[in-house]
Amino acid sequence: MLKALIFDVDGTLADTERDGHRLAFNAAFREFGLDWEWDVPLYGKLLEVTGGKERIRFYVERFRPDYSKPKDFDDLVVTLHKAKTGHYVELLGRGGIPLRSGVKRLLNEARGAGIRLAIATTTTPENVTALLGNTLGGDPAEWFEVIAAGDVVPAKKPAPDIYFWALDKMKLDAADCLALEDSENGVRASVGAGLKTVVTINDYTLDHDFSGVVAVLSDLGEPGQPFRMMKGEATGQECVDLDLLRRWHAAG
């Protein structure tokens, strides 16, 4: 029986990466006088690494061999990431990042049916709270009983640890849940934790390997704005609803 839905955040609940996090990183770099500029193609490559602090380190190591690290480089990374979070929250406060198609509709349906909801993400708790507060309204804890985010586990996706943490807090088995993800790293984490997984792709994840998932589609769809199916079966459906999720969960 399907008892809970566990959502990734960035790219799944909202298209936050290209026009959210990327812009916030660039604003933080300018704030600290760095000549680093992450354009859209470069950011796609940086998304191979999960976690903002980890992404900064990866960028310096892979793309900026000319940069001479100061002795306090690790502290600088933490400071840059904190500044980036501030810029991101400010952007959210201006209403610049809406939820993806069908997300709020499905969340409302799940709440009404007594399906439990949780978050499993590598982004910081502050980012999650800001996104949910500005798109859903109210306290995020009213929507999601567990928010597994940021550094609550040492190993980030594609490690499955964040999902194990969420399952432990909910006292549920993986077999009772369905994960919703958007990327290969996310899928490796959710499937690695034993969760059946549905993927909604975005511009950065079109060519990712989604082996082991039960369905891949463009988005969750809305009435009159149907989703496109890449993997799985959804005959006659234009929106992902609980009945369809239960069918995928049972058949996966």
Catalytic residues: 8, 10
Report DSSP letters for 127-141, one per residue: HHHHHHHHHT-S-GG
- Going by C-beta distance under 8 Å and a sequence separation of 6 or more, which residues neighbour residue 58? 46, 48, 49
Q: Which of 165, 186, 71, 172 is nearest to 115 (CA)?
A: 172
Helix (H, G, I), strand (E, B) or coil at 178: strand
Nearest-angstrom CA–CA distance, 217 and 243 = 16
CA–CA distances in Å: residue 158 to residues 47, 59, 98, 174:
12, 18, 26, 17
CA distance 108 to 196: 21
